[in-house]
Structure 1
Amino acid sequence: MTQTYYTEDHEWIRVDGDTATVGITDYAQEQLGDLVFVELPEAGRSVKKGDTAVTVESVKAASDVYAPADGEILEANSALSSEPALINSSATGDGWLWKMKLSDKGQLEGLMDEAAYKNHIG
């Protein structure tokens, strides 16, 4: 069963077993504006919860995207290299950033569900 969690920093993490797909929320991409560049992580890289995993740049600013849990990067969304605007048009779909193998699913317990996240952003 796939579950989606949200962080206070506006990342989403969609978990299916021990594998997770990570991206930024619609709210985050709206705040950033038109994205023009994404620095993607290398497959095989280990990340700790809270580490900067990706940097996205918009016409307004650059922003770090943090790992919502510990794990190993399995794959980055290579389509974003040539089309970073996919994040603007489909932040929770085709605009995903990376897939990872989770090393501690217990870290998900501190994250928000969709209702809590909607409440968080007001």
Structure 2
Amino acid sequence: MARYFTQDHEWIDVDGETGTVGITDYAQGQLGDITYVDLPSAGTTLKKGDAPCVVDSVKAASDVYAPVSGEVIEANAALEDQPELVNTDAETGGWLFRIHLADAAELDGLMNEAAYKDYVAGL
């Protein structure tokens, strides 16, 4: 499994043709306490850069952008009752949705973990 990051602070874990998407620990820290997550429905077709998900916090509502194009195959139902999982477990159990990748070549434009850490350090 490989993990990639966007400049908008999303991560995607890729296993074959399936990607699991969430927001980074840095992003959840900037948002503060998450109060609600508006998740995409299975079957939703996304283009890279679409905003299929909104994370509401005590500070603001923030769009989550699709790091790649594809079809949503699952949303994290646990977040309906426990949106705070995005705060406590942002990069594992607080994942947002899974997507079937339409074009794996889109991953080439994303950062690896070392590049993302350097990017965040410069903010």
TM range (shorter): over 0.9
Aligned pairs for 1:66-81 (under 5 A) are 66-81=65-80
Shift of 1:99: 0.4
Unaligned runs of 5+ in 1: none
2:119 corresponds to: 120
In the alignment, the residues of structure 1 paired with residue 52 and residue 4 of structure 2 have an alpha-carbon distance, to the nearest angstrom, of 17
2:60 corresponds to: 61
In the alignment, the residues of structure 2 paired with residue 121 and residue 48 of structure 1 have an alpha-carbon distance, to the nearest angstrom, of 25
1:33 corresponds to: 32
Unaligned runs of 5+ in 2: none
Name the TM-score, length of structure 2 as normaliser: 0.98
In the alignment, the residues of structure 1 paired with residue 16 and residue 92 of structure 2 have an alpha-carbon distance, to the nearest angstrom, of 19
1:91 corresponds to: 90
Runs of 4+ in 1 over 2 A off after TM superposition: none
In the alignment, the residues of structure 2 paired with residue 121 and residue 98 of structure 1 have an alpha-carbon distance, to the nearest angstrom, of 23
What SS is found at the alignment partner of 2:90?
coil
* Identical-residue share of aligned pairs (%): 58
CA RMSD, Structure 1 to Structure 2 (Å): 0.3
Name the TM-score, length of structure 1 as normaliser: 0.99
In the alignment, the residues of structure 2 paired with residue 53 and residue 32 of structure 1 have an alpha-carbon distance, to the nearest angstrom, of 18
